[in-house]
Every structure is written in C-alpha cells, then in structure tokens.
Amino acid sequence: MKLIIGSRGSKLALAQTYYIKNLLEKIDEDIEVEIKIVKTRGDVDQKAPISQLGLGVFTKELDIKMLNYEIDIAVHSLKDVPTVWNEDLTIAATPERESYHDVLVYSKDVNIEDSIIVGTSSIRRRAFLSLKYPGMRIAPLRGNIDTRLKKLRDGKYQGIVVAEAGLRRLKIDLDALNLSYRILDIPPAPAQGVIGVAARKEDKEIIKLLKKINDSKTYLESTAERWALKTYGEGCQAPFGALARYCIEGEELHLTCSVVDLEKGRIVSEDGKIRCDIEDVKGAKRLAKYIGSRLKEKIES
C-alpha cells in the first residue's frame, strides 16, 4: 500500500509526521509512505493574530487536499483541529500523548520572579496567565518554536510560552542555548500534546490500518476534552482549558475544564468523572457534554 501523508512544513509538523510515518512502517513493511508538504493560511500569514484568521487556520488546506484525493491522510496537532469539522473526515488515530503542559522558557540570567515581558499570542494562555501570574507583562508573539526562541535569545522578550510537547518532539537542548524552563500552572488546550491522524471516512482500509497505531487512552481523553469545548460552544479560540485523565485500574475517566470570564476577570472551573471502559467513547462524550454545559451555565449566571 502506498500512502501520501499531508503535513505542514514547520520543523515540529514534520517531526510529528515522520513519527507517524515510522509507526506505520513498523506495523507493515510493505507500506510505502510519501510526505507532501502543504502550506496553510497560518503558515503564510505570520503576523495576524490567530483569532483573526478564523477556525482551521492550520488545518483547512490539508483538509481540502484530502477531500480532493491529493493526499490520503493528514497529520495534525489535534488541538488545532476545529471541534466542528468536515463530516466526510475523521480523526482515525491518536498515538500516545506527549506532555500536555505549557511551559515558560526564559534566559538563565533572568529572574522570573520580577516583572518580565512574556511573549504569546494564544488567547487561552494570555487570559490564564494574566490572572495566575499578574506580574507578567504579556506581549504578542507568533511563529514556530525556532522563531520564538530566536526572538527570546535576541532579547525581544524575557520569556516565551510554548508547549512542552513541542520542545520534546524537537529534542531542543535548552541548556545549550543558555535557557531554562518552568511548567506553568494553567490548564492546557483541549488535546494539547496529542497528534491527530485524519482520514476520509470512506477509506475503510486506511482507517483500519491507522487504528493499529492508535492509543485508546489518548483517544478517550482527547475526545472528552474536545467535546467539552464543543459543548461550551466557543470554538478553539476561547480562553478554555481542559484536561481528562483515565485511570485504567479503576476504569474511571476524570475531566476538569476551566474558562476565563473576561468580563468579570475570574477563572470558572467544573469537573466530574464517569466509570467507563477505555473504549467507551460515548461515555466520554456524555461526561464532556455535562461538564461543558455546567461550565457554560456558571459563566452565564
């Protein structure tokens, strides 16, 4: 079987795509994999805030290529995939999750207990940081990890916020760059640290193949987080964080969601749990719908 995988051209996107390529080649030595780079709107427009570019800014062009049969599957950072998506496409696999944490990367000669300028353009990160770390001065910053690290080292910022998963997947040696990092106490984006492999729903043979690289725990947890956001109803640009954890021994899924109420300057949270089998995606969705609805009620009350 020959598979054409669509990927963005950034170092992180390609690292994730080659990871999927290697997984597929390990399960079937007869698979021939070709990687096709696709530029998305988010890659072309590096200056405009993500919130102004709309949903699917890093995925839409890949989706179109898939629907036009120019690629067979697409590799995404699952947090970038809109919760309301094309009905002809599906997330067929989510390999084991990397770290879900956001981290502050900073120069070793900076005292982060002082008021420092921190770069991030994420609405979620900006909103939670402003309440959790009021001493930080948040400044807009877009670009891939290399671009952001360069601006940090050039002194344009004293700290930047990135996903720990990205640092790990790119094997970035912060010590060699005279940089340190600290895990931040803010809720992650739904499905942060998760790679989502998308396929056309009609391609049953490809989906069957992709299921062999799927991690059921990751799939269950990321489904719960994304369905909570979908229920809340603000799309992936909301100051919304979610984390689901599945306990295999107790067969219990726990979900915590938080959102920043920008008008009242507060963080509102809701959590709950459900007993379910690791393959019980419907159970995860039920829990997520309940948590998302309760959170929305709290914000509106």
Residue partners of 261: CB distance under 8 A and separation at least 6? 267, 268, 299
CA distance 5 to 206: 12
Residue whose structure tokens are 């159970």? 283
Residue 84: name the closest of 214, 298, 219, 232 by CA. 232
**Distances 83 to 55, 178, 201 between C-alpha atoms, Å:** 9, 38, 16
Both tokens of residue 193? 């640290």
Which amino acid is it at 248? I
CA distance 138 to 263: 18
CA distance 255 to 86: 26
Collapsing DSSP to helix, strand or coil, 34 comes out as strand
Contact status, residue 117 vs residue 95, Cβ threshold 8 Å: no
CA distance 75 to 199: 9
Q: HSE (CB half, 13 Å, CA atoms) of 161? A: 30
Residue of 63, 72, 80, 280 marked catalytic: 80
Both tokens of residue 114? 């002082």
Residue 80 a catalytic site member = yes
Contact status, residue 95 vs residue 21, Cβ threshold 8 Å: no
| DSSP code, position 70 | S
Residue 33: name the closest of 63, 75, 5 by CA. 5
How many residues make up the chain in this entry? 301
Catalytic machinery residues: 80
